[in-house]
Amino acid sequence: MSRYFLALAAIAMAAAAPAKPPREESPAPRDILASVGSGNSDEELQRAIAAAAAHPLGSSENPIRTAGPEGTRAYIARLRCGDGSSPRVGAEREGGVGGYGSVLALYPIDCGASAPGKVDLRVDIYHEENAETRAPAGFRIDR
């Protein structure tokens, strides 16, 4: 019985102990928090798009810009090989950092004997405002 009362007394003392004041500053650095939402300006994005255009569409330097994973799936669903067939799409994997500074998704695309054969296309899913309408070399896009 005395253990029971000791346990109750300990719980009561812990509940009555003053709470520690909240931290005055978040553990995240202020400069990181200040930059949230700042993104790139439209001008910077246009310069990056112009620089990327010097490289093949679907490369690291000029990835296919899509609006998230759903945009990527929609784009790849419209992609056609040189003979008009749908390509076989391999498993997505990490594709490095691309020309826009984002982590890319790499998709192995296989058209078999049809052009362009086997290629790795890199996709940047962080372009919510973009619905790519161009096709990489050797492919076409169904509308």
What's the pLDDT tens digit per position in 77-87? 999 999 999 99
0.85 cut: is pTM over it? no
pLDDT at 21: 57
Distances (CA, A) of 116 to 24, 62, 63, 139, 142: 59, 18, 17, 7, 16
User: Which residues does the chain have with pLDDT short of 70?
Assistant: 1-40
Tell me what pLDDT residue 11 has.
65
Residue that the structure tokens 């102990």 belong to: 17
Q: How many C-alpha atoms does 67 have within 13 Å on its Cβ side?
A: 8
Amino acid at site 73: R
Burial 74-85 (b: 16+ CB within 10 A, else e): ebbebbbbeeee
Residue 55's pLDDT is 96
Looking at residue 93, what is its pLDDT? 96
